[in-house]
Amino acid sequence: MKNEIVKIGKLLYDKDLTSATSGNISIRSGNKVYITATGTALGFLSEKDVVEIDMDGKEFNSNEKASSEKFMHLAIYKLRPDLKAIIHCHSPFTTAFAACRKELAAPIIAENILYFGKIPVADYGMPSSQQLTDNTSKLFADYDTVLMANHGIVAAGETLKKAFFKLETAETYAKTYVYSKIIDGQILLDGKDLDDLKELRIKLHSK
Ligand SMILES: [Zn+2]
């Protein structure tokens, strides 16, 4: 489990989805959560940088301190027992949307509508604050991928790989949006085309 976090951290760094010591990753296993330690660089993790905590955020078996965003991770796990892994980072294109407090909802790519519906923006909260935890975690009642106003993005999944794919797809969605604006010919899906996608999304997610 620790090894998986190390690998995904490196992948996030190599794909320009994280930089320096920003961001954090966790995996839930029963009533235990494995989370990156505070101040660690996701691109250069080793297994000793992953801290075990309980569902109240208390560290055990480690001299390292868990990420200061641990309470946000725990709040999401408590709300959604189906989610077993979370990645938070400041990936540049999605964070640009967060900086503008603009949700990613434009129907420009059919598969993004099927995959996300939309990616909403949580209200602002100071990093590591209770307000940030509350504002961000509550949106996970309806979404698995959420932008954090003037901060970054959080993606969660049933596995760490799935959380990574959500994050990567969200970044590609944001990047494609920006490039299509530069080309200056963006055509939004609408009418029956959009209704059909929404209908299919409901079918896919009700299985
Ligand atoms: Zn952050």
DSSP for 74-129? Answer: HHHHHH-TT--EEEEE--HHHHHHHHTT--B----SHHHHHHHS-B-EEPP--TTS
Q: How far is the CA of 101 from the centre of ligand 1 (A)?
A: 15
Name the residue ranges covered by the structural domains of the chain: 2-205
Pick from 47, 50, 55, 18: nearest CA to 37 = 50
Mean pLDDT of 18-40: 96
| pLDDT in the model for residue 28 | 98
Q: What is the CATH number of domain 2-205?
A: 3.40.225.10
| pLDDT in the model for residue 207 | 54
| pLDDT in the model for residue 64 | 85
| pLDDT in the model for residue 62 | 72
Q: Write out the H or E segment, with its range, that includes residue 50.
A: strand 50-54
pLDDT tens-digit map of 143-179: 999 999 999 999 999 999 999 999 999 999 999 999 9
Q: How far is the CA of 23 from the centre of ligand 1 (A)?
A: 5
Amino acid at 136: T
| pLDDT in the model for residue 206 | 76
Mean pLDDT of 98-121: 96
Q: How far is the CA of 184 from the centre of ligand 1 (A)?
A: 32
What is the pLDDT of the chain when averaged over all its residues? 95
pLDDT tens-digit map of 77-100: 999 999 999 999 999 999 999 999
| pTM for the predicted model, two decimal places | 0.95
Task: List for the chain the helix, strand, coil content (%; round to 5).
Answer: 45, 20, 35
Percent of the chain scoring above 90 in pLDDT: 95
Query: Which residue out of 4, 47, 52, 69 is catalytically annotated?
Result: 69
Q: How far is the CA of 188 from the centre of ligand 1 (A)?
A: 31
The question of whether 69 is a catalytic residue gets the answer yes
The pair of structure tokens assigned to 110 is 């059919």
